[in-house]
Structure 1
């Protein structure tokens, strides 16, 4: 039995499109209208953030939908202030739905006198009154341990597996999954197992931070359709170089599947001019007009999965069931057909 009446959604300004899509999907599942709580999230002239909630939330099960993407600091502060407003308005439970968890790349001290910013963000979220976090493909899984509250980390791999099976149907035997670095082998191996194909690795050697001295391919990619898998694409420099390297090693074509399309700086231009046939990203980060206008960038939706995860949390049922492709097939009905 659910402990609360109805799940209520509220959104900051980071990705209103995704928030509205989640609300529409929940309306379909519930057979009743689920909308975003009426609120304003604005800025004073000096850029201070102000939040006002126009609906009663006392005793309600609240879900704040807010990725902490660029501008990361503004979006993080919006999330914290919305949580504080809900807590002071006597919301019964506050869950932060963070499709893209900013600061996740600062999960450990890589050298002396550096912060562990991911832990700091975890502390801030907890102190603001958030009691549960729902996110997608954390850059480092150990960040879940930075929290003393439940953290549900969803995975894009099952969605990517569905998409690959749909778009490469009939010649999956020619597909090979490629990890763009040694650190991402686990993620690549999982996807390869899901779709039943081989695995290759691009080994990078750096002379200094941000500068790659040498890249080599570990594995046989000649004549193969290569699918690069990673969680974050920022400036796309390494990704495009990896695609060129694979083509130079005899790959038939190269596609990339990246969960979070940060795509900052020259990324979009690099992708447009790269040898990659396609870059597939999720909508965890609101795509810019430049991203939407780029012909070789395609976006797969996460709203069906997030909507179901929110309903499962509200109902007190399993979220881990969404880790399996079979569970996602009916959720993504009409978008992908198997068999």
Structure 2
């Protein structure tokens, strides 16, 4: 088995390698003067089971091209099997046509990864489960919830916790977490009665006197989380924290969350944390390296990956 890492999230790749007690394969991933990606695998991989670790996070297009070119280089170097380990699968939010003449970019990216030469894909908390079906190769969608459950049990009195979905679309995900920790579920329903009017936040469920944990897969601008936290506090919640798998945190999201009603935001290291995240007093990063490392090991041994979540 060989582990190859791109530049998107080197610390996570190194942590996975440490868990597996394997060195990362020597390779060069750099840019030409015009920013074209150049890749050179500096070890023999002929006949090897190779895992390419690369999130397609910001800058999404650059990191996606790195992944595709790494896969192509390994295929041309006669690797026996190539598994794309994509902790954060970018373009996942474009999983359907929200209007006429719009793309389904998640399917396009799935096609690109397949045609580049990947034999299978490992990813974490896809934005929508149906994206697995966009791939014509085996695709394992891992869940970060077991890692988060351990942290929640250590940090909170579970008898006082209510799990909250920040929108109706995330109810299934939040319900799964609530079931794991045997906690009640609440839902934030946001709507505009008329165009141009501000959103009205309705809370479905009892949150008065409760410690609320917002649970979702992606935080980008942070607007939904901040508004949901404020609405929960207005309805009598004692405190509000958020557990999110992928901390995209674009624009002024870190400052916005720091000034909000959220007591803390916990994210995983599926996307490499920026300096702003590392110094933030309201943000904390937990690692999914053991989860990914174990999934990689089981895939290499042809063992069950789904049993990780039983």
Counterpart of 2:140 in 1: which secondary structure? strand
Q: For 1:9 and 1:50, how far apart are their aligned partners in 2?
A: 18
For residues 45-64 of structure 1, give each alpha carbon's deviation from its aligned partner in whole angstroms, at most 9, with x where no partner exists. 11000001110010010000
Q: For 1:186 and 1:129, how far apart are their aligned partners in 2?
A: 33
For residues 188-224 of structure 1, give each alpha carbon's deviation from its aligned partner in whole angstroms, at most 9, with x where no partner exists. 1110000001000000114799985211111110000
Counterpart of 1:247 in 2: which secondary structure? helix
| 8 A contact 1:204–1:212 mirrored in 2 | no
The counterpart of 1:174, out of the listed 160, 176, 197, is 160
* TM-score computed with the length of structure 2 as normaliser: 0.98
Count of aligned pairs between the two proteins? 310
Q: For 2:124 and 2:110, how far apart are their aligned partners in 1?
A: 15
After TM superposition, list the pairs within 5 Å mapping 1:3-14 onto structure 2.
7-14=1-8
Matched, 1:26 2:20: yes
1:117 alignment counterpart: 105
After TM superposition, list the pairs within 5 Å mapping 1:250-289 onto structure 2.
250-289=236-275
Would the alpha carbon gap of residues 153 and 220 (structure 1) be closer, same or farther in structure 2, given more than 3 Å must change? same
Counterpart of 1:139 in 2: which secondary structure? coil
Q: For 2:36 and 2:68, how far apart are their aligned partners in 1?
A: 13
Matched, 1:219 2:200: no
For residues 123-168 of structure 1, give each alpha carbon's deviation from its aligned partner in whole angstroms, at most 9, with x where no partner exists. 0000000000000000010000011100000001111111111111
Q: For 1:207 and 1:304, how far apart are their aligned partners in 2?
A: 46
Would the alpha carbon gap of residues 150 and 15 (structure 1) be closer, same or farther in structure 2, given more than 3 Å must change? same
Q: For 2:92 and 2:115, how far apart are their aligned partners in 1?
A: 18
Gaps of 5+ in 1: 1-6, 28-33, 325-339
Q: For 2:168 and 2:252, how far apart are their aligned partners in 1?
A: 25
| 8 A contact 1:236–1:263 mirrored in 2 | yes
Pairwise CA RMSD? 1.3
1:30 alignment counterpart: none
After TM superposition, list the pairs within 5 Å mapping 1:1-339 onto structure 2.
7-27=1-21, 34-168=22-156, 171-206=157-192, 213-324=199-310
